[in-house]
Chain A
């Protein structure tokens, strides 16, 4: 019995490293046409994404903007000149990336 118990505990620890959550993270971005980009975040179950970290990275992966979703689950930043991508960083298994080229006016 003890052996099985140990095995179960071990399973818990192992599985833990890859835990994921049931609600899916969501983000959509829009080019405002005034050299700013607005992204709206949220979760599939309707939870707010307030306070979720947002990184804007350039082509080489260098961070351009570090910010957070505001109380309305939105974030607006200046549109970078070159290629870029926006990362919604909701923790492991909870991230979304949107490529700058896919953000259209």
Chain B
């Protein structure tokens, strides 16, 4: 028995308490990042040794509380219950003790072996506060260790405390929150639960009782899972809740939250001495303006504008600068994959290039994502995020959303130009499960960048004279469609999901560190790459099959072979009249064309004549005959080059036409035709259906597909040929199409992100289905309705706009499900302390 002992230690704490710094202090920044099983919450672990004890340190998500409202809180709580760490280090911002105690008391209530780590003592000293550590230790009955993690102070004391506590057997907590009039009910319920051998062994009895009275879903599930007579226990809890509400006119969950706050305030009052002259701290001073009725929204607007400018506008520029990297990847795969054919390519090449192209198309956005993630990290670390949520919460709550729905919606493109993928990703921070799901459902309705090209084509073709107005319409109408939809979802399918009261305390402002920001941004980029890129590659394969099979019928294949033969025959006739006769055979024609393409790829981006000449020389050495034809060497070379150009043109034409035919005959094409009877009410014919179906793979496709199926002529733009090709296609059609596109289901990568964030395939399918139906409904309403009323496209546009705005206003007035029972319970009280 010599082996060292391993101890599991959890690190808990509220956001912005310096938890990561403490983590790094203890582990020396050696960490392993993974996800908690089945959810997208990051799990950071590290290990270190104290004498002969090996400590596994797990960083729990930063949470203000331990209810089961948010994913982070649930994850933290489940870990404490299921993994039963030997020690829980509760990192608290010493300069905000009262607020941080809120978590400490809940940890103690769970009978977790807690060490209270008073961090940021340097800030406490700087502010002239004093904390009576001994008094705090006596009151709480747990070890209390002050540290200044940022300066590396307190590591030894913390290690000693961990070692001591790890050796002890946990006993019942010394400090109990006094719930006043609720106590008799807790006793009754706890008594009933204690009688059950299963539950009382697995969970702390008093804690379960309090949680049941708090109407906590997860606690109810725990009882159901373990209690021999769960229904009776739950019925008892329900009757206790009812009786308490009758007695006091107060909902138990509110009473519990207030009792906890009161306990925190009492403890803080006895242990913290504030500086004599009670000055408002700098944070509070800043909040006077940041949360101000008038300046608040103004500052918010400026910050959001800056966010947009940096991430989207500058990000686009950066993406363009970075393109040569992805271009090189494409060129490289084009060189190494099996050689191309005349009309069609070998399967391996076609599929390989398709997958690479689909992936690089996403990687192209990487600079934008990196900037976004860095900016979000700055917003989070600085403490502005909760302020933003506070400012917009009153507005968003009317629609069943949450203050923190703002960022996801901005990223998704509240103003034209976002991307739903990071938008859906950002919903993770929303602590209210119902609002989080509602946000996930509406983020894809925002105007992502990829929808813009289609808008531009349609506006250019049908609303050219009022282009600015039409663009304004589509840019803003989406918000007026999304808000009512969020409300309807909240009132219907999401009704049963738990909603959290907006109790969000304002952490003090912090100056974010560059290292912290970069680390967070890189971690998220990496997670994003792992999740999205692999899935995109897999989905690309499926889409490839859908748009390429069953393939061309035999007679068409014969037709294209004929085109090929005729072109090659013409070329060979020219060869016979030159000195190359005998040196170039039929079999050489395709290799010459590929030789030329490969030379072009090699020289792409080369701007220096010498470098270019070196590449030329290399290709010449490789095959002097091909080179002579491609680079027009000598009289015969010039002659043959002209002839080659004709063959190249024929090849491109054949490839283009064959691709369009293959596409129309494909599974996806057949679906487009099959849907025509339904979509005709929205004014879509089968060709538009095909374009829309391919847009599901990636929104960008819509414009490209519309282009390819409208068979563009050299002199015509997409707009012109669309106008010409679709006689009878009116502005009303275009309007219906634009609206459908706005509501159209999220593209495949976004859908996958929805699945990840909602943690359910069901929600992903729901999101795809409801948006498609809604899109079809709206498009049909506008098209068929507009036609029946004899409206022009422009009239229909503004009639619809008015309808949407009116619906939004009406929806704002309908109360949310829980508003009736707790009209006054949405208590911004903790915020009031800071925001006047």
Which residues of A are in contact with B by a Cβ distance under 8 Å? 1, 3-5, 7-16, 18-26, 28, 30, 32-34, 40, 43-48, 50-51, 68, 70-72, 91, 93, 101-105
B308 x A93 contact (CB < 8 A) = no
Q: How far is the CB of A11 from chain B (nearest CB, A)?
A: 6
- Closest residue of chain B to A102, judged by CB? B607
The CA-CA distance from A4 to B414 in the complex, in Å, is 14
A71 x B327 contact (CB < 8 A) = no
The CA-CA distance from A7 to B302 in the complex, in Å, is 11
A1 x B607 contact (CB < 8 A) = no
- Closest residue of chain A to B298, judged by CB? A7
Given contacts A1-B812, A21-B449, A22-B368, contact A44 B718 (CB under 8 A): no
Interface segment, B112-120, B164-172, B671-679, B703-711? B703-711
Which of B312, B708, B718 makes the CB contact (< 8 A) with A20?
A: B312
B708 x A48 contact (CB < 8 A) = yes
A24 x B452 contact (CB < 8 A) = no
A20-B449, A22-B365 known; 12 new pairs, CB 8 Å cut-off, are A1-B395, A11-B301, A19-B452, A20-B313, A20-B417, A22-B319, A26-B323, A33-B632, A44-B364, A50-B707, A105-B613, A105-B616
B656 x A23 contact (CB < 8 A) = no
On chain A, the residues within 8 Å of B631 by CB distance are: 33
The CA-CA distance from A88 to B383 in the complex, in Å, is 44
On chain B, the residues within 8 Å of A14 by CB distance are: 305, 415
B297 at the A interface (CB under 8 A): yes
Which of B308, B608, B638, B704 makes the CB contact (< 8 A) with A48?
A: B704
The CA-CA distance from A23 to B701 in the complex, in Å, is 11
On chain B, the residues within 8 Å of A5 by CB distance are: 395
A23 x B417 contact (CB < 8 A) = no
Residue from B453, B476, B616 having most chain A Cβ neighbours under 10 A: B453
B472 at the A interface (CB under 8 A): yes
A30 x B305 contact (CB < 8 A) = no
B304 at the A interface (CB under 8 A): yes
A72 x B416 contact (CB < 8 A) = no
B717 x A68 contact (CB < 8 A) = yes
Q: How far is the CB of B805 from chain A (nearest CB, A)?
A: 9
Which of A9, A32, A51 makes the CB contact (< 8 A) with B718?
A: A51
B606 x A91 contact (CB < 8 A) = no
B414 x A93 contact (CB < 8 A) = no
B419 at the A interface (CB under 8 A): yes
B712 at the A interface (CB under 8 A): yes
The CA-CA distance from A13 to B715 in the complex, in Å, is 34
**Residues 580-622 of chain B, each 1 if its beta carbon lies under 8 Å from chain A, else 0:** 0000000000000000000010011111110011001000000
The CA-CA distance from A9 to B473 in the complex, in Å, is 11
In terms of DSSP, what is the predominant structure of the interface of chain B?
A: helix
On chain A, the residues within 8 Å of B606 by CB distance are: 104
Which of A4, A32, A101, A104 makes the CB contact (< 8 A) with B297?
A: A4
- Closest residue of chain A to B314, judged by CB? A20
On chain A, the residues within 8 Å of B701 by CB distance are: 47
The CA-CA distance from A25 to B603 in the complex, in Å, is 19
B714 x A24 contact (CB < 8 A) = no
Q: How far is the CB of A36 from chain B (nearest CB, A)?
A: 11
A72 x B652 contact (CB < 8 A) = yes
A24 x B319 contact (CB < 8 A) = yes
- Closest residue of chain B to A47, judged by CB? B704
Q: How far is the CB of B507 from chain A (nearest CB, A)?
A: 23
Given contacts A8-B479, A16-B471, contact A45 B361 (CB under 8 A): yes
Residue from A7, A24, A40, A45 having most chain B Cβ neighbours under 10 A: A45
Which residues of B are in contact with A by a Cβ distance under 8 Å? 297-298, 301, 304-305, 308-309, 312-313, 316, 319-320, 323, 326-327, 357, 360-361, 364-365, 368, 391-392, 394-395, 398, 414-417, 419, 448-450, 452-453, 456, 471-472, 475-476, 479, 600, 603-609, 612-613, 616, 631-632, 638, 641, 652, 656, 698, 700-701, 703-704, 707-708, 712-718, 720, 812
Given contacts A21-B453, A44-B360, A68-B714, contact A3 B398 (CB under 8 A): no
A11 x B471 contact (CB < 8 A) = no
Q: How far is the CB of B650 from chain A (nearest CB, A)?
A: 12
Q: How far is the CB of B628 from chain A (nearest CB, A)?
A: 12
The CA-CA distance from A68 to B416 in the complex, in Å, is 27
- Closest residue of chain A to B410, judged by CB? A11
Residue from A9, A24, A33, A93 having most chain B Cβ neighbours under 10 A: A24
A105 x B475 contact (CB < 8 A) = no
On chain A, the residues within 8 Å of B308 by CB distance are: 15
Q: How far is the CB of A12 from chain B (nearest CB, A)?
A: 4
The CA-CA distance from A20 to B297 in the complex, in Å, is 25
The CA-CA distance from A51 to B715 in the complex, in Å, is 7
Could you write out 10 A-B pairs with CB less than 8 Å apart?
Answer: A7-B301, A19-B417, A20-B313, A21-B452, A30-B603, A48-B704, A50-B718, A101-B607, A104-B607, A104-B612
B700 x A47 contact (CB < 8 A) = yes
B416 x A51 contact (CB < 8 A) = no
The CA-CA distance from A46 to B357 in the complex, in Å, is 7
Q: How far is the CB of A68 from chain B (nearest CB, A)?
A: 7
B472 x A47 contact (CB < 8 A) = no
- Closest residue of chain A to B417, judged by CB? A19
The CA-CA distance from A85 to B398 in the complex, in Å, is 55
Given contacts A15-B417, A51-B717, A68-B717, contact A4 B392 (CB under 8 A): yes
B708 x A105 contact (CB < 8 A) = no
A71 x B713 contact (CB < 8 A) = yes
B416 x A15 contact (CB < 8 A) = yes
Given contacts A72-B652, A104-B606, contact A45 B364 (CB under 8 A): yes
B414 x A12 contact (CB < 8 A) = yes
Q: How far is the CB of A67 from chain B (nearest CB, A)?
A: 9
The CA-CA distance from A93 to B641 in the complex, in Å, is 37
The CA-CA distance from A11 to B475 in the complex, in Å, is 11
Given contacts A15-B308, A22-B419, contact A44 B717 (CB under 8 A): no
- Closest residue of chain A to B308, judged by CB? A15
B417 x A21 contact (CB < 8 A) = yes
The CA-CA distance from A63 to B715 in the complex, in Å, is 19
Across the A-B interface, give the 9 residue pairs with the lowest CB-CB distance, nearest first.
A22-B449, A102-B607, A51-B717, A15-B415, A47-B704, A45-B361, A70-B714, A104-B612, A24-B320
Q: How far is the CB of B30 from chain A (nearest CB, A)?
A: 37
A24 x B364 contact (CB < 8 A) = yes
Given contacts A33-B631, A72-B656, contact A48 B415 (CB under 8 A): no
B698 x A45 contact (CB < 8 A) = yes
Q: How far is the CB of B827 from chain A (nearest CB, A)?
A: 19
- Closest residue of chain A to B453, judged by CB? A21
On chain B, the residues within 8 Å of A10 by CB distance are: 301
On chain A, the residues within 8 Å of B652 by CB distance are: 72
- Closest residue of chain A to B476, judged by CB? A12
Q: How far is the CB of A74 from chain B (nearest CB, A)?
A: 9
- Closest residue of chain B to A99, judged by CB? B607
On chain B, the residues within 8 Å of A16 by CB distance are: 415-416, 471-472, 475
B305 x A47 contact (CB < 8 A) = no
Given contacts A7-B297, A26-B323, contact A91 B472 (CB under 8 A): no
Which of B419, B712, B812 makes the CB contact (< 8 A) with A51?
A: B712
- Closest residue of chain A to B633, judged by CB? A33
Residue from A18, A40, A51, A105 having most chain B Cβ neighbours under 10 A: A51
B700 x A91 contact (CB < 8 A) = no
On chain B, the residues within 8 Å of A102 by CB distance are: 607
The CA-CA distance from A32 to B717 in the complex, in Å, is 26
Q: How far is the CB of B5 from chain A (nearest CB, A)?
A: 54
- Closest residue of chain A to B418, judged by CB? A22
The CA-CA distance from A7 to B303 in the complex, in Å, is 13
On chain A, the residues within 8 Å of B416 by CB distance are: 12, 15-16, 19
On chain B, the residues within 8 Å of A40 by CB distance are: 600
